[in-house]
Amino acid sequence: GQQVMQIPQYQHVQEGEDFTTYCNSSTTLSNIQWYKQRPGGHPVFLIQLVKSGEVKKQKRLTFQFGEAKKNSSLHITATQTTDVGTYFCAFSYNTDKLIFGTGTRLQVFP
C-alpha cells in the first residue's frame, strides 16, 4: 500500500548543531507541507512545496522536494532551544485528504 516514512523518529542535538528530517514516499506525491507542533501545542503550518526539485528557505530552515516528488526534507541550521517540537510532513495522493507523516521529535539541549 501507499506509505510515507518520516525519519528519524527522534533526534536529540546540542544547541548550535544542525538537524534534518526526511519524508519518503513509495508513491508520487501531489505536494507536501511541513508543520511544527510544540510540546502541548497544536500543528503550525510552515510551508508547502509543489514543484519537483523545489527548494525554499525560511531563515534557518531549508525545505526540499525531491525531483521525483517522492521525498522531502527539512533542514535546520544551528538549532536553538526554540526549535524543540515535533516536525510533521503532510501530503496527499491526488485527493483532498491531507495525511500527516509519523513526525520527528526534536529535542535541543542548551
User: Which residues make up the interface to other proteins (CB under 8 A)?
Assistant: 30-31, 33, 35, 41-45, 47-48, 50, 88, 90-92, 95-103, 105
Minimum distance, C-beta of residue 78 to other proteins, in the bound complex (Å)? 25
Q: Quickly tell me which residue has 526534507 as its cell.
A: 73
Left, alpha or beta for 59 (phi > 0: left; psi -120 to 50: alpha)? left
Minimum distance, C-beta of residue 20 to other proteins, in the bound complex (Å)? 19
Q: Which is nearer to other proteins, 23 or 76 (CB)?
A: 23
Q: Which is nearer to other proteins, 17 or 84 (CB)?
A: 84
Q: Which is nearer to other proteins, 44 or 78 (CB)?
A: 44
CA nearest to 11, candidates 103, 99, 73: 103
Strands 61-65 and 71-76, sheet pairing = antiparallel
Minimum distance, C-beta of residue 87 to other proteins, in the bound complex (Å)? 11
CA nearest to 108, candidates 6, 8, 12: 12
Amino acid at position 1, single letter: G
Minimum distance, C-beta of residue 96 to other proteins, in the bound complex (Å)? 5
